[in-house]
Structure 1
Amino acid sequence: MDNRTFADRSDLERSKPTGHRGLVLGMLCFVYVLNFLDRQLVSILAKPIQDGLHITDSELGRITGFYFALFYCFIAIPVGWFADRTNRVKVLSIACGLWSAATAACGMAANYGQLVAARMAVGVGEAGGVPPSYAIISDTFPREQRGTAMGIFNLGPPIGSALGVAFGASLAAAYDWRAPFLIVGAIGVVTAVLVYIIVPEPARGRFDPLPAAAAEPAHSFGQAIRAFFGNRILTIAALASGAANFITYGLSNFATLFLMREKGMTLEEVAIWYALAVGLGMGAGIFVSGRLIDRFGVTNKAAYASIPAWSLVLALPFFLGFAAADSWQVALPLLFVPLFLNSFFLPATVTFVQSEVDPGARVISGALLLLVMNLIGLGLGPTFVGMASDFFRPQYGEHALRMAFYALAPMYLIAALLFAWLARMIKRSSPASSGSRQASD
């Protein structure tokens, strides 16, 4: 029996070579890149898909938002609970293979109904992607390095979006919109096998106090859900992230269509310039956010909420300028700032939640966070923008999407106020909860 103290074991883990950590993080990040690339392909190729299958903006909003999120969000909960009790790497590998096969099926859809069914299957698979990765990272990196590690992992969305734009738009321009789905799906199936071979399953709670207590999951399925939503701070964190994600998905799922339809960009220009804006803007924002969290979160836990609050306030005027610009050459530089700032909330909230819950409940806690975050953001954001665009079309014609983005703008202030409220709650709870894992109100 190992009688060493937690501090001794934790120091021993920290002293181990870090090369394998980098390999694990790189592999998980690549899976997340594919996850987001698959998810965004329909939005990126919205114009040719609309032309080929004859679908409206509202139908596009539902297929990229509500229909996908319905399966993605709710199936993530039982998958997360199951992964907390089994091998998280195996769950991730199976999920990657499933969503990749479903992505290939999207490229074979002959009508809107078949595309909806394939997108729902993508959502089912992707439900097992991100939450297990959060937990694997939390048990691979010590607490003082998790913000940066989560920031690097969360480069998956900007890299996936940028590659999706460049890769998807180029292939669609050269062949048709179906080719990117088939090729990316095949790459994902191969990656699923590599995850199973390369990524080791880390011990739960290896860098946390009371590791023995974390050796087995502490909660039943129902208890884990009640523990998360019974904690007011975690619930507000999820709601604030949902409001921020409402903006992120409402904007990103229609940005390509907006730039092509109202700003005059071609697929070839989208493949170069919009891809660069997404990759550099979102990527830099997520990485900088992770570094800021590691810098300020150690001494001031409220920074996990105050940093996202300020970033959203600063992004709003640039978002309005993007929507109002008359040409894509003006709109794209203005869009770069919201792309940079909109993503600050993601590493902050994920790191905060993963640090606040028991090691044996990290996957399901991540899944519950994503449930709220994506049901509000992914499920309602694109649906709202698509419906708003169709609503404004009779009066504003080709500028209907611009008006829909104006209608989206107030959500910046709502999300910022929720994060400011969260920061205040964290400050109030800190003295009473010092030394305890899970703050409660």
Structure 2
Amino acid sequence: MAFHHSPADDDIDTSVGIPRTYAWVVFALTFGLLLSDYMSRQVLNAVFPLLKSEWALSDGQLGLLSGIVALMVGLLTFPLSLLADRFGRIKSLALMALLWSLATLGCGLAQDYPQMFIARFMVGVGEAAYGSVGIAVVLSVFPKHLRATLAAAFMAGGMFGSVLGMAIGGVLAAHLGWRWAFAGMALFGLLLAVLYPIIVKESRTSPKRFATAASKVVDSAARPLRTLYSSRSVIATYIGSGLQLFVGGTVIVWMPSYLNRYYAMGTDKAAGIAALIVLSSGAGMILCGMLSDRLCRQNAERKVSLAIAYCLGSCLLLSAAFALPVGPAQLVLIGLGMLIAAGTTGPAGAMVANLTHYSVHGTAFATLTLVNNLLGLAPGPFITGKVSDVIGLQAAFQLVPLISIGAALVFFYARRHYLRDVAKLRGAPSELKVGPLACEVQS
């Protein structure tokens, strides 16, 4: 059954009146802070071998240092994003960046495992709501038909930040020691935290500019918070996205260690190769998001089908890769698998934006981030580390891609209800005849 509605029924275009040049400046600075966010988070992966040796840590303990950040992001993203939606997104973003940068500096000063754990805990607190609030700011200054591309491009900043964090961190650690790896990430974040509120202004990006127009939106928008959980497809989107990121997030965290152990690479070389694999994932996020926007303008349901295809394709490629012996062929397959492993980010982001009211998009993406972290980014590295302690990292990696099958099944469930739920949110009849001015629900 197909569902159609007029473009007039779509949610309000919050980019009206914002110059495109200013919009790109906002994107660049917000993207820069996202780079800092993930550089501070993932630099730890590059120094895993050094910490393991210096402090005699198990893989489970190392995985916990990574997982605690994702856990705090998951637990705090919703309340902090809700506060940011209500009290000012721009000031909130600057304060978050200041906190995670200072906490990253604390990682470099840690003298033992407990101190490092506390510092990583505070990194997680600082980063908790940045991704959700940052993407809400970006979407608010661009036209809504670019949502999948922008969501994918913005979230790809996490991958590029991971690349820079691991690559630069690996080089700094190899030449100056692991403490300078953390210090370098901290200084970059502090600089951007100071510049951001000076250039990006709340008055030009806040959805409160549309408070009057919002009162004219259909009755379902009068209670916008309910749209965060009121449809089966949005809940399924949250879960499917989280399960798929279990795979991509785990490979990113443990790849430097995998290369160090099975390819006998040094810290800097292992971090560099791992960074290239992560770069492949980031490029894939953007390409998959662009593909989603291009193919789904006339058929909104295709974005869900693409998400399913990305899940199953990554499962096939990564399973084949980790079944091979070490060597160039394995690395190529890992790169190809990671190219599409995070491809669900763009479609999932666009689906969440289309299924929730614009005034709570920060909180909606917080909910997505919450599930991404609680189902994927937090348990993935920790569980894999525990499994690795028992059967080895190679065998653990062979099990990880199977999670994508579960993600594909959940997205398939979302596909069955997506168009009906979007039509319900917009106040449109569940099924309308296609006329000259009618169109499919757009991203």
For normalisation by structure 2, the TM-score amounts to 0.87
For residue 405 of structure 2, what is the amino acid of its counterpart?
Answer: L
Contact 1:219/1:361 (<8 A) preserved: no
Amino acid at match of 1:128: A
By how many angstroms is 1:326 displaced? 2.8
The answer to whether the 8 Å contact 1:88/1:132 transfers is: yes
Aligned position for 2:136:
135
1:11 and 1:357 map into 2 onto residues whose CA distance is: 14
What is the deviation of 1:15?
Answer: 7.4
Is the CA contact 1:282–1:343 (under 8 Å) kept in the aligned structure 2? yes
Give the aligned length: 418
Shift of 1:317: 2.7
CA distance in 2, matches of 1:12, 1:347: 20
Does structure 2 retain, via aligned residues, the 8 Å contact 1:142–1:207?
Answer: no
1:405 to 397, 401, 404: 397
Query: Residue 236 of structure 1 corresponds to which residue in structure 2?
Result: 236
8 Å CA contact 2:18–2:141 kept in 1: the answer is no
- In 2, the alpha carbon distance for the partners of 1:238 and 1:18 equals 31
What are the equivalent positions in structure 2 for 1:156-305 lying under 5 Å apart? Answer: 156-201=157-202, 202-204=205-207, 210-212=213-215, 224=225, 227-279=227-279, 281-305=280-304
Q: For residues 413 and 205 of structure 1, what CA distance do their matches in structure 2 show?
A: 41
Tell me what 1:90 maps to: 91
| 1:12 to 1:108, Cα distance in 2 relative to 1, 3 A | closer
Offset of residue 211 of structure 1? 3.6
TM-score, length basis structure 1: 0.87
Aligned residues of 2:423 and 2:429 also touching (Cα < 8 A): no
Residue of structure 1 equivalent to 2:69? 68
Contact 1:290 1:347 in 2 (8 A): yes
- Cα distance in 1, alignment partners of residues 32 and 429 from structure 2: 31
The 1:414–1:406 alpha-carbon spacing in structure 2 relative to 1, beyond 3 Å, is: same
Residue 353 of structure 1 corresponds to: 352
Q: Aligned partners of 2:386, 2:173: CA distance in 1, in Å?
A: 26
Residue 415 of structure 2 is matched in structure 1 by: 423
User: 1:146 aligns to what SS in structure 2?
Assistant: helix
**In structure 2, what residue type is equivalent to 1:136?**
V
The residue number in structure 1 matching 2:333 is 334
Alignment CA distance shift 1:228-1:420 (3 Å): same
Which amino acid letter does the alignment assign opposite residue 406 of structure 1?
Q
- In the TM superposition, what is the alpha-carbon distance from 1:179 to its structure 2 partner? 0.8
Give identity over the alignment, percent: 27
Instruction: State the partner residue of 1:3.
Output: none
Distance 1:205 1:305 in 2: 31
Deviations 1:20-76 (A, max 9, x none): 1111111111111111111111122211111122210111122211x2233221211
The answer on 1:47 being equivalent to 2:49 is: yes
RMSD between aligned residues? 2.8
**8 Å CA contact retained: 1:244, 1:377:** yes
How many Å separate the matches in 2 of 1:432 and 1:142?
A: 22
**Superposed CA offset, 1:254-285 (max 9, x none):** 11101111122222323443323321x12221
Match of 1:396 in 2: none
Q: Check whether the contact 1:319–1:338 (CA below 8 A) recurs between aligned residues.
A: yes
Quote how far apart the aligned CAs of 1:13 are.
Answer: 5.3
The residue aligned with 1:101 is 102
Matched, 1:35 2:32: no
User: Partner residue of 2:5?
Assistant: none
- CA apart distance, 1:437: 12
Higher mean C-alpha displacement, 260-269 vs 246-255: 260-269
CA contact (8 A) 2:13 2:144 kept: no
- Contact 2:15/2:140 (CA < 8 Å) preserved in 1? no
Structure 1 stretches lacking a partner, 5+ long: 1-5, 393-399
Q: Distance in 1 between matches of 2:59 and 2:186?
A: 25
- Aligned partner of 2:63: which letter? G
* CA spacing shift, 1:233–1:317, aligned 2, 3 Å: closer
